[in-house]
Amino acid sequence: MDQIAAHSPNLVANHDAHFEVGGETHEIPRYLFVGPKGGDTPIRVGIFAGIHGDEPEGVRAVIQFIKLLEANPELAAGYYLSFYPVCNPTGFEDGTRHSRSGKDLNREFWGNSSELEVQLLQAELVSHSFNGIIALHTDDTSDGFYGIVRGATLTKHLIEPALCAAEKFLPRDRRSVIDGFRARNGVIRDVYDGVLSAPPKVRPRPFEIILETPQAPPVYLKECALAIALKTILDEYRKFIAYAPNL
Ligand SMILES: [Zn+2]
């Protein structure tokens, strides 16, 4: 991504988010993709991957998605897209779900966590006041692609087209219970406490979507499914923003 950023008029790398674990310095890499000008105010969306270190699918999907945007910047028209491709750098290095301190970082948000990665990401979530938050995950217990929605009411209108688009590459998980939660047409509305999310008191709530790819399919299909779902969410949300002033 740094190689892309070095030659891109749209992509900016930011390597200032450092933290120390066990005497070693680590970094949560951050990238900003500035889309061509759209409406008045840029729409700020945060895209997070690799918070579970053993889920490289999301990390690679972000890279594929950035390449897609580089080739077609108009896909990001009107957007400021903040990418956090590796939210759990020590877990990613070790190939473990948890960070090196032994914590599942995706259960630690907004609960006074002492985990430095969580504190850094919380600071990003506060300072950027995102209009939308998308997190990418892998589920090794599912045979299909699915999503989890939270936040703004319109979120449910974003997930269905995204799952439809992903179905070109991977089947949808249509079970009535996924990961212990009730599900319908591949959509879950509940989550574990402490997942990466908007600051609790923020109003209006941004849209919040978690995309889950099954682990078993070939790498290429997983990356395409996640990337096309991201593209579709941006397309659909832009339509809402354009329509909203006329309501
Ligand atoms: Zn995960």
Q: What angle do CA 62, 196, 185 make, to 5 degrees?
A: 75
pLDDT at residue 42 in the model: 94
Question: Which band of pLDDT confidence, cut at 50, 70 and 90, is reported for residue 79?
Answer: very high
| 179 CA to centre of ligand 1 in angstroms | 11
| 246 CA to centre of ligand 1 in angstroms | 38
Reading the block at residue 37, the tokens are: 């000008």
Whole-structure pTM value: 0.96
| 138 CA to centre of ligand 1 in angstroms | 5
| 51 CA to centre of ligand 1 in angstroms | 7
197: nearest Cα among 140, 139, 149, 138: 149
Q: What is the pLDDT of residues 156-212, one digit of tens each?
A: 899 999 999 999 999 999 999 999 999 999 999 999 999 999 999 999 999 999 999
pLDDT at residue 40 in the model: 77
| 54 CA to centre of ligand 1 in angstroms | 8
pLDDT at residue 246 in the model: 59
CA distance 107 to 102: 12
pLDDT at residue 153 in the model: 84
